[in-house]
Each structure stands twice: as structure tokens, then as C-alpha cells.
Amino acid sequence: MKKILLIILLSNFSIACSQTKHSDYSNEVNDLKAFVEDTYKSDSTKVKAYAKNENNGKIFAIKTDDLYSEFDFEIFHVYEFLAKNDKVVFARKTPISESGDWAMSFSYYFNNDGRLIGAEKSVSSFYGEQNMLVTYTARYELSNKTDKLERVDVYYTDHKDNKIKKKSKLYKEAVEGSMINEFVDNMDQITFRDLESFMKTEKIKYYKTD
């Protein structure tokens, strides 16, 4: 299960198109999401992945698929960055699950000024005797009216990425009858508002690519 969840985190990248309400930055965020998704599909080498040494905050480029033997320090998070016109517009933080019971990711979208204009938090877990997958996703966008990052959508999906309807039999089994909400309650809060603050919050010192 551990390998399955790690593959889900590092290989799959899905974008939800529906939302419950719109913010002033919706179009810009959607354009960035489309750019990121297309890059992952067409040329994923442009996405730079790093492992962080928690002892000193330095991050090192990931060059193999075996994170556990590539580095001589314990890895708690993987970071991915994508630049557009020489400016970082996307960052993703992926905590590593040692137990393999969950898979979590935090995706952030920045405009040309480095301002955080959109974010997505996601966590997946297993449920039932057949170990089926359920995923929780929360989407955020910056609002001109409040100048705050506001949640614009939240939903659960099954193993086929179909939304799970509330009060349905599947919702009771996959959401209410599983551990998914325990992981949701422990997800990081978004406290930063720009790329520089993201680096400081994550205590990232600098890039080392060789």
C-alpha cells in the first residue's frame, strides 16, 4: 500500500474544474492549473523535485525513483517546483507517509509577483475490507474583496476520481466510516501569502542541483 500511495502522490496530478463559488482570481488560477497539468503530461522534466534535509533546511534534487536509498538523511517531505518565464508559479509539498496509511499533498499557485493566488490540499486513505481509496480535496483562491485566501470548494472522490455525494451509501462507508477525516483534521494550515514566505515557513535554505 505504501508504494501505491507514493506513486499516487508523485505521478498523478488531477485538476478539478467545478467549484461552489468564484473569486476574483479564478481565471488566473485556472490558467496556471492548466499550465501545470499540461507540463506534467507533456514534459514532466521541467518540474524540479527536491528532498529536504530537516537538520539544515537544504534541499537536494531528486535524481532516482528510490528516495529511501538516494539520500543519507531521513526524508519527511518532497518539494516540487515549476517555473514559467523564469519565475516559480507552482510549488507542491508532499509529506512522506511511513505507515502507508495515507497520501497527502499541498499545491500552491503564485502569480508573476510571487503572490499566492490559489492552493489545493489533498489527502487519500484506504477504507473497507477491499482497501478502496477515498480522497479529500479542498481548493482555495485569493479574493480581491477580502484580500484573503478563501476556500472555494471541498469534496471527496472515489478511486475513479468521481465525486462522492453526501448522504449516499458510499459517503457513509468511505467518509464517515473510515479514518479519512482524522487525516484531514491534521493537515497543515496555509499561513503564508507569497513565495518568499512559503520558503521561510518551510525553512528551505537554498537549492542544490548537483
pLDDT value of position 97 = 86
Looking at residue 23, what is its pLDDT?
A: 53
User: In sequence order, what E strands does the chain have?
Assistant: 48-52, 59-61, 77-84, 87-95, 102-110, 116-127, 132-142, 149-157, 207-208
Domain count, the chain: 1
Instruction: Note down the domain range covering 143.
Output: 2-208
At residue 87, the pLDDT reads: 94
Note the pTM of the prediction, 2 decimals. Answer: 0.85
The pLDDT of residue 67: 86
Q: Which residues contact 88 (CB under 8 A, 6 or more apart)?
A: 81, 82, 110, 114, 195
Q: Which portions of the chain are predicted below pLDDT 50?
A: 1-22, 208-210
